[in-house]
């Protein structure tokens, strides 16, 4: 009877641990020592070969992506053949502002004598754009490596890179907005995510762990240095770490160091940006500091039964939230910070917490880029199978995370998921857990704000390819449907990604070739004429007023002084821009003249595309935003708020063209074409 019970017990244990590596029994023959050594050597050589091949593929794909976007840029503008002024005009809106600082730097005598004198080898503009296209190679390699680290096979990285390229419309816009700060920053953010993914591996050697922490810090610092929205992106990242730490899905010590790295990176950027006060008032610094303080106040957060832990967890969240708000308000009060108030007004209005007449907030609300993610995005992503696979992997990993989080909170380390068709143990590795919460939070951000979709769609490629090539995912899926064998798992892990790659190649390769063969040319004669006139007919010290977007080009192409420009993270500059924009409002010529002269304006540029704008609907045209902010009713048919009143003056940008005495006394037209009108301000005693 005892022997029979032992036999039954052994059979049950075998069923629970199904799928694990079979342990050699005493009855089985033992492999000779030489054979084991030979297998070990063979496995090591295979790993080296796999890493070498995977690395070569990663670098090759990165370089190919760089060449691909550079070719698209050349074909779209015929960049190599157009004049310098046309090249500079092609850097639209704030892109021109950012490039102008580079141009200013290379024209400085001290810099030319130093490290940036590349003119004898390459035109400065090409050095600039090739650097950015080169960063795209870094971006793709980082995505490739992250997927490889998560899945354990470089096939996953290959699939991630191919998805990134074939979904280019939704994963990057570098080829037509080259100097944008996000194009400098996102490659470093991808490197940081890859480094964090490696850092969260179990049993990492101390030396490798230190090097990885250093890599995370450098990538975090470079990301923070190159993008003004870095603090908001890293706040989302910090929230991901906080959630995972609360549910005991990440090692607390590593999470603590990541909080410290984020704070250190931001503070270093603050110093290098001449003590940028906006950084000190960021929610990220307040949140990370609050989490670290709350931990010292609350002890034994991860001990006790389920209900006890849930209660302590709720208190912990409330404590962190209160500390964050109090600390942030205190810092902003002490330093008198208002640089980012327009962002919070925008968010408040966007999510329905009250309408606003604030000009800056409405300027964001009316831009399509800051609206909800269009539904046609998902149809494009579905064409490459990316969205379908992503949703499958996301749902699967979310269920896994919920089970593991519940198990951790309940304090049981041996809970097993029992399905109708079989039994298996659910596990969730820390690196996979981080990337899961990362993609969920950045997905929510992208759904709410279209401009931020590039942070999500690129990671979507990584996450979907990881799930499709993951041993753990296929193992659990096959066990749940009672079809698991190591051979089937291996077959699914490699065959499905290969079939997906073949489908993508078959469907999209012809389109990519057609795209590369399509040739266009830059054509904007009115703007070229304006810039040439300014350079030839105005003094170098002349001060120009106009729209933010146009003035960025004026600064780049002519070097003239501006009254305002697209850098919108400064309250004084925002207020100045609103005042300058009164040229498109219903104001008297005397008021407009007084405003412009208060900023030292010599010339003002009026644009018909703004004065008679039709791109936006009524209520979102620039002139409508100004009318509402000034308390005036809007033009055209439609409703107005009850307290708005008619203006006693006509619209300035329309009336000035009639050359009435009240206008010509203050403004003299000196240039005109089909798009632009330039007026010189009279200098009265």
| Helical residues (DSSP H) of 384-470, grouped into ranges | 386-410, 430-448, 453-468
For the cut 50, the answer to whether the pLDDT of residue 511 exceeds it is yes
For the cut 80, the answer to whether the pLDDT of residue 86 exceeds it is yes
Q: Which of 74-88, 292-306, 615-629 shows the lowest per-residue confidence on average (mean pLDDT)? A: 292-306
**What's the rounded Cα separation, in Å, for the pair 248 and 245?**
5
Nearest to 366 by CA among 619, 634, 608: 619
pLDDT band at 20 (very low <50, low <70, confident <90, very high): very low
203-210 contacts, C-beta under 8 A, 24 or more apart:
none
Tokens 């919108």 label which residue?
568
**What's the rounded Cα separation, in Å, for the pair 480 and 461?**
26
Q: Which of 4-8, 323-327, 590-594 shows the lowest per-residue confidence on average (mean pLDDT)? A: 4-8
For the cut 90, the answer to whether the pLDDT of residue 611 exceeds it is yes
Q: What is the mean pLDDT of residues 397-402?
A: 94
**What's the rounded Cα separation, in Å, for the pair 184 and 99?**
12
Task: Say what the pLDDT of residue 431 is.
Answer: 96
Task: Say what the pLDDT of residue 278 is.
Answer: 85
For the cut 90, the answer to whether the pLDDT of residue 570 exceeds it is no
Q: What is the pLDDT of residues 123-134, one digit of tens each?
A: 889 999 999 999
For the cut 60, the answer to whether the pLDDT of residue 78 exceeds it is yes
Q: Which of 462-466, 568-572, 573-577 shows the lowest per-residue confidence on average (mean pLDDT)? A: 568-572
Instruction: Output phi, psi for 678, to 5 deg.
Output: -110, 130
Task: Say what the pLDDT of residue 320 is.
Answer: 97
Task: Say what the pLDDT of residue 28 is.
Answer: 41
Q: What is the pLDDT of residues 298-356, one digit of tens each?
A: 888 888 888 889 999 999 999 999 999 999 999 999 988 887 777 888 888 888 777 77
Task: Say what the pLDDT of residue 112 is.
Answer: 54
Q: What is the pLDDT of residues 622-673, one digit of tens each?
A: 999 999 999 999 998 888 888 899 999 999 999 999 999 999 999 999 999 9
The tokens for 201 are: 């591996």
The tokens for 179 are: 């100097």
For the cut 50, the answer to whether the pLDDT of residue 595 exceeds it is yes
DSSP assignment string, 296-307: HHS--TT-S-HH
**What's the rounded Cα separation, in Å, for the pair 182 and 227?**
6
**What's the rounded Cα separation, in Å, for the pair 143 and 58?**
9
- pTM value? 0.89
In eight-state DSSP terms, residue 634 is: P
Q: What is the mean pLDDT of residues 454-476?
A: 95
CB atoms within 10 A of CB 581: 23
Beta strand 667-672 pairing with 543-545: unpaired
Q: To which H or E segment does residue 545 belong? A: strand 543-545
Task: Say what the pLDDT of residue 45 is.
Answer: 87
For the cut 60, the answer to whether the pLDDT of residue 421 exceeds it is no
pLDDT band at 4 (very low <50, low <70, confident <90, very high): very low
SS3 562: strand
CB-count burial class (<10 Å; 0-12, 13-18, 19+) for 21: exposed
Would you say 154 and 50 are in contact if contact means Cβ atoms under 8 Å apart?
Answer: yes
Please tell me which residue, 13 or 42, carries the higher pLDDT value.
42
Question: Quick one: how far is CA 197 from the chain centroid?
Answer: 18
For the cut 90, the answer to whether the pLDDT of residue 411 exceeds it is no
SS3 669: strand
Question: Quick one: how far is CA 543 from the chain centroid?
Answer: 35
CB-count burial class (<10 Å; 0-12, 13-18, 19+) for 82: middle
Would you say 445 and 236 are in contact if contact means Cβ atoms under 8 Å apart?
Answer: yes
Q: Up-side HSE of residue 561: CA atoms within 13 Å toward CB?
A: 11
pLDDT band at 361 (very low <50, low <70, confident <90, very high): confident
Task: Say what the pLDDT of residue 26 is.
Answer: 37
């Amino acid at each position: 009877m005892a022997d029979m019970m032992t036999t039954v017990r052994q059979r049950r244990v075998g069923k629970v641990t199904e799928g694990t590596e079979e342990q050699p029994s005493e009855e089985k023959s033992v492999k000779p020592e030489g054979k084991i050594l030979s297998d070990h050597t063979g496995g090591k050589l295979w790993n080296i070969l796999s890493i070498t091949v995977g690395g070569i593929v990663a670098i090759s794909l990165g370089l190919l992506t760089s060449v691909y976007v550079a070719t698209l840029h050349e074909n779209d503008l015929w960049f190599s053949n157009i004049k310098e002024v046309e090249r500079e005009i092609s850097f639209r809106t704030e892109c021109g502002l950012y490039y102008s600082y580079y141009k200013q730097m290379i024209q400085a005598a001290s810099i030319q004598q130093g490290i940036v004198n590349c003119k004898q080898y390459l035109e400065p503009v090409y050095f600039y754009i090739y650097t950015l296209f080169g960063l795209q190679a870094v971006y793709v390699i980082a995505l490739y490596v992250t997927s490889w680290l998560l899945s354990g096979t470089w096939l996953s990285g290959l699939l991630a890179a191919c998805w990134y390229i074939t979904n280019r419309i939704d994963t990057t816009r570098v080829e037509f907005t080259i100097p944008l700060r996000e194009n400098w920053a996102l490659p470093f953010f991808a490197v940081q995510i890859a480094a964090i993914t490696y850092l969260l591996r179990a049993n990492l050697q101390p030396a490798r762990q230190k090097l990885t922490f250093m890599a995370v810090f450098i990538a975090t610092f470079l990301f923070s240095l190159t993008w003004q929205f870095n603090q908001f992106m890293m706040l989302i990242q910090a929230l991901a770490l906080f959630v995972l730490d609360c549910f005991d899905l990440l090692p607390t010590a590593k999470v603590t160091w990541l909080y410290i790295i984020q704070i250190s990176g931001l503070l270093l950027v603050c110093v290098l940006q001449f003590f940028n006060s906006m950084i000190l008032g960021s929610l990220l610094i307040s949140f990370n500091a609050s989490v670290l303080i709350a931990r010292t106040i609350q002890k034994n957060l991860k001990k006790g039964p389920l209900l006890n832990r849930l209660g302590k967890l709720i208190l912990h969240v409330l404590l962190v939230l209160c500390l964050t708000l109090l600390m942030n308000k205190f810092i902003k009060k002490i330093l008198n910070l208002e640089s980012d108030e327009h962002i919070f007004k925008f968010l408040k209005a966007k999510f329905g917490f009250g309408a606003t007449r604030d000009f800056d907030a409405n300027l964001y609300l009316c831009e399509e880029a800051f609206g909800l993610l269009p539904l046609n995005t998902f149809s494009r992503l579905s064409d490459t199978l990316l969205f379908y696979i992503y949703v499958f992997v996301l749902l699967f990993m979310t269920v896994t995370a919920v089970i593991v989080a519940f198990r951790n909170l309940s304090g049981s380390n041996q809970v097993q998921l029992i399905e109708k068709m079989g039994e298996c143990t659910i596990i969730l590795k820390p690196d996979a857990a981080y990337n899961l919460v990362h993609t969920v939070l950045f997905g929510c951000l992208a759904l709410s704000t279209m401009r931020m979709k590039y942070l999500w769609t690129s990671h979507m490629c990584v996450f979907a390819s990881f799930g499709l090539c993951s041993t753990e995912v296929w193992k659990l899926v096959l066990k749940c449907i009672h079809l698991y064998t190591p051979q089937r798992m291996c077959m699914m892990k490699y065959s499905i990604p290969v079939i997906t790659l073949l489908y993508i190649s078959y469907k999209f390769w012809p389109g990519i070739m057609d795209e590369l063969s399509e040739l266009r040319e830059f054509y904007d004669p009115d703007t070229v004429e304006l810039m040439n006139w300014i350079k030839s007919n105005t003094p170098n010290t002349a001060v120009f007023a106009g729209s933010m977007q146009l003035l960025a080009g004026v600064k780049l192409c002519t070097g003239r002084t501006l009254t305002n420009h697209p850098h919108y993270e400064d309250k004084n500059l925002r207020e100045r821009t609103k005042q300058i924009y009164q040229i498109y409002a219903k104001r008297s010529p005397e008021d407009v003249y007084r405003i412009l002269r208060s900023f030292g304006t010599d010339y003002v540029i009026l644009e018909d595309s703004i004065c008679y704008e039709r791109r936006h609907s009524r209520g979102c045209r620039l002139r409508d935003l100004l009318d509402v902010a000034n308390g005036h009713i809007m033009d055209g048919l439609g409703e107005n708020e009850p307290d708005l009143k008619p203006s006693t003056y006509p619209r300035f940008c329309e009336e000035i063209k009639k050359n009435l005495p009240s206008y010509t006394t203050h403004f003299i037209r000196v240039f005109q074409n089909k798009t632009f009108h330039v007026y010189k301000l009279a200098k009265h005693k």
